[in-house]
A = this chain, B = another copy of it.
Amino acid sequence: MHQYYQQEDRQLVAVDCVIFGFDKGLLKLLLLKRNFEPGLGKWSLAGGFLQRKESLVEAADRVLCKLTGLKDVFLEQLYAYGNPARDPGERVVSVTYFALLKVEDYYKDLVIENGAHWQAIENIPELLFDHGEMVEKALCRLRLVAKSQPIGFELLPAKFTLPQLQSLYEAIYQKELDKRNFRKKILSMDLLDKLDEKDKSSSKKGAFLYRFNTEKYKELVAKGFYFSLDI
């Protein structure tokens, strides 16, 4: 390969992942204790350096997989941070991705093994470098995306109840929603299949379980359908 651009500066490029999970009615963020300098001991996002032969999203996948063992998560690029002083160790350009995970039980162990921790978003500690800013932007994006895509289903188990789904949206928007209006909107999308089972873990009466119909969703998206879950 020719060296066309020989005289130009080369930089470290990193990816940092803002990973949201939903557990027991709380929206949570995955944080790690940094175990090297600079910034040793601080809470930080899951990050790593871009390698020569991988794309940005591949790097994000690799970092995420290393940390949680998971592949095939909803992963979206957020923003590139390039302030020359943002990392005091060396100039690093960082591209952030955000991901939504179901916080399932086997997961928690995996995450704890890796020294990671799920922190409720109402109560995020001070973070490494500009990671706090990254989280702010990710929350804005999450709210925006949740409006135009039925995104909630990435954060819930395959079968879920409408009250569970509602409390997820309430966690994302940090406000209470009207039960009747919420159901009307969600069901009018016609993307949920009602099952014959009930979940009785949170009430005596029990709530019907639903399943997201991925085929219908793909079909509609292919037709250019645009969702607007104005909540």
**Residue pair A90, B1 in contact (C-beta under 8 Å):** yes
Q: B-facing mask of A47-59, CB < 8 A → 1, else 0?
A: 0011111111101
Count copies of this chain in the complex.
2
Q: A80 in the interface, Cβ–Cβ < 8 Å?
A: yes
Question: Chain B nearest CB: distance from A228 CB in Å?
Answer: 10
Contacts of A106 in B (CB 8 A): none
Query: With contacts A5-B49, A93-B13 known, is A55 near B77, CB below 8 A?
Result: no
**Residue pair A4, B84 in contact (C-beta under 8 Å):** no
Contacts of A179 in B (CB 8 A): none
**Residue pair A3, B50 in contact (C-beta under 8 Å):** no
**Residue pair B83, A55 in contact (C-beta under 8 Å):** yes
Per the CB 8 Å criterion, the residue count for chain A at the interface is 37
Q: B-facing mask of A77-88, CB < 8 A → 1, else 0?
A: 101111110000
- How many angstroms from the CA of A214 to the CA of B70 in the assembled complex? 48
Contact of A80 among B4, B11, B95 (CB under 8 A): B95
Q: A37 in the interface, Cβ–Cβ < 8 Å?
A: yes
- How many angstroms from the CA of A61 to the CA of B10 in the assembled complex? 19
**Residue pair B84, A55 in contact (C-beta under 8 Å):** yes
Q: A72 in the interface, Cβ–Cβ < 8 Å?
A: no
Sample of 14 more A-B contacts, CB < 8 Å, known A10-B11, A52-B84: A4-B37, A5-B12, A5-B89, A9-B51, A9-B52, A11-B52, A54-B84, A55-B82, A56-B81, A57-B82, A77-B79, A80-B80, A80-B95, A93-B93
* A residues in contact (CB < 8 Å) with B: 1-5, 8-13, 36-38, 49-57, 59, 77, 79-84, 89-93, 95
